[in-house]
């Protein structure tokens, strides 16, 4: 069997479907950040173990959950509240437990949805590590955190479905307003990668290492919001995803513009 860890903060709308999608596990843990809605009650009613911790940053919070929760099984599945493993993925994860002992984690392909449309082309980062041995992984970076794995990472073939707009466009904008502030603070404090390598960004065998160097290089480019929109629409072919793809590309460019503006503001001594 596999343990499940879900991090929450006011997730009463998404949590029921998430819990239902992992009901095959008899060791589900909800790590809550003092929700003010019915999140905790929903989790307890579903038989989940509820733990509470005050949120500080994403990496520290996730590391605290992995380090302090007494999981029943050696493998832990890590869905967000707005993610759902497909039935095929749930079955595949059980089979994957027969992997060699040195395997430390499994990576899955995530499918993001907007307007009931899979953003097949628009989605920039489709691969995420979601099944891990807790003692062999560690999160770094306060925002858009990176999972470092000590040992080999294997692949799972079936998808994990993600609904980032389940709470509406306004909630997505609210979250990314916060994310952009945190990204700007990281840039100004120079906590990002100091010496990114173009060769590593293009050819490193590890997806997350490539993404780390790609992001560091991207932050050094002029006209980033426009470049991001052009890249998503024409190079990644978000236009093939129809109105949903164009909408998503525009929202991502807007998010990038917020990071640019807030970085300039902080460097000028602003708020």
Q: Are residues 148 and 15 in the same domain?
A: yes
pLDDT-derived band at 189, boundaries 50, 70, 90 = confident
Is a pLDDT exceeding 60 seen at residue 71? yes
pLDDT-derived band at 86, boundaries 50, 70, 90 = very high
Which percentage of the chain shows pLDDT scores above 70? 97
| Number of structural domains in the chain | 2
Q: Domain boundary residue among 134, 162, 190? A: 162
H-helix or E-strand spanning residue 113? strand 105-114
pLDDT-derived band at 215, boundaries 50, 70, 90 = confident
Q: Are residues 13 and 144 in the same domain?
A: yes
What pLDDT is recorded for position 190? 64
Q: Are residues 47 and 142 in the same domain?
A: yes
Q: 189 versus 70: which is more confidently predicted?
A: 70
Is a pLDDT exceeding 60 seen at residue 73? yes
**Mean pLDDT of all residues in the chain?**
93
* Mean pLDDT in residue range 166-178: 97
pLDDT-derived band at 218, boundaries 50, 70, 90 = confident
Q: Are residues 20 and 72 in the same domain?
A: yes
- Return the minimum-mean-pLDDT range out of 106-115, 120-129, 229-238, 261-270: 261-270
Q: Are residues 19 and 132 in the same domain?
A: yes
Q: Are residues 19 and 65 in the same domain?
A: yes
**How distant, in Å, are the alpha carbons of 33, 84, 171 from that of 111?**
26, 10, 20
> What is residue 240's DSSP assignment?
G
Q: Domain boundary residue among 116, 144, 162? A: 162
Long-range Cβ contacts of 35-41 (<8 Å, 24+ apart): 35/8, 35/9, 35/10, 35/11, 36/10, 37/10, 37/11, 37/12, 38/12, 39/8, 39/9, 39/10, 39/11, 39/12, 39/15
Is a pLDDT exceeding 60 seen at residue 172? yes
Q: Are residues 193 and 118 in the same domain?
A: no
Q: Are residues 232 and 134 in the same domain?
A: no
Q: Are residues 155 and 197 in the same domain?
A: no
Is a pLDDT exceeding 70 seen at residue 194? no
Q: Are residues 122 and 176 in the same domain?
A: no
CATH code of the domain in which 108 resides: 3.90.550.10
Q: Are residues 22 and 126 in the same domain?
A: yes
Q: Domain boundary residue among 106, 129, 162? A: 162
* Mean pLDDT in residue range 228-235: 96
pLDDT-derived band at 204, boundaries 50, 70, 90 = confident
* Mean pLDDT in residue range 224-238: 96
Q: How far apart are CA 94 and CA 10, in angstroms?
A: 30
- Reported pTM: 0.88
* Residue 218 · residue 212 · CB < 8 Å: no
What pLDDT is recorded for position 138? 97
- The residue range of the domain holding 123 is 3-162
Q: Are residues 156 and 207 in the same domain?
A: no
Q: Which residues contact 193 (CB under 8 A, 6 or more apart)?
A: 212, 213, 215, 216
Is a pLDDT exceeding 60 seen at residue 59? yes
What pLDDT is recorded for position 193? 58
């Amino acid at each position: 069997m596999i343990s499940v860890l879900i991090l929450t903060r006011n997730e009463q709308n998404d949590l029921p479907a998430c819990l239902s999608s992992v009901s095959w596990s008899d060791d589900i843990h909800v790590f809550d950040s003092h929700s003010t809605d019915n999140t905790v009650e929903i989790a307890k009613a579903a038989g989940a173990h509820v733990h509470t911790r005050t949120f500080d940053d994403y990496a520290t919070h996730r590391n605290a959950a992995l380090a302090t929760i007494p999981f029943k099984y050696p493998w832990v599945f890590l869905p967000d509240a707005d993610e759902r493993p497909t039935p095929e993925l749930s079955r595949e994860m059980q089979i994957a437990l027969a992997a060699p002992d040195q395997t430390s984690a499994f990576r899955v392909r995530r499918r993001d949805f907007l307007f009931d449309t899979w953003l097949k082309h628009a989605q920039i980062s489709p691969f995420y590590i979601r099944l891990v041995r807790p003692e062999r992984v560690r999160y770094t970076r306060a925002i858009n955190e990176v999972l470092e794995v000590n040992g080999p990472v294997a692949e799972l073939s079936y998808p994990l479905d993600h609904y980032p707009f389940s709470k509406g466009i306004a909630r997505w904008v609210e979250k990314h307003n916060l994310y952009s502030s945190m990204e700007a603070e990281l840039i100004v404090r120079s906590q990002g990668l100091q010496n990114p390598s173009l060769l590593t960004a293009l050819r490193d065998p590890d997806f997350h290492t490539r993404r780390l160097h790609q992001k560091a290089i991207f932050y050094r480019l002029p006209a980033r919001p426009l470049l991001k929109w052009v890249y998503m629409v024409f190079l990644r072919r978000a236009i093939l995803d129809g109105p949903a793809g164009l909408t998503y590309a525009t929202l991502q460019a807007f998010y990038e513009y917020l990071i640019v503006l807030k970085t300039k503001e902080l460097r000028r001594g602003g708020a």
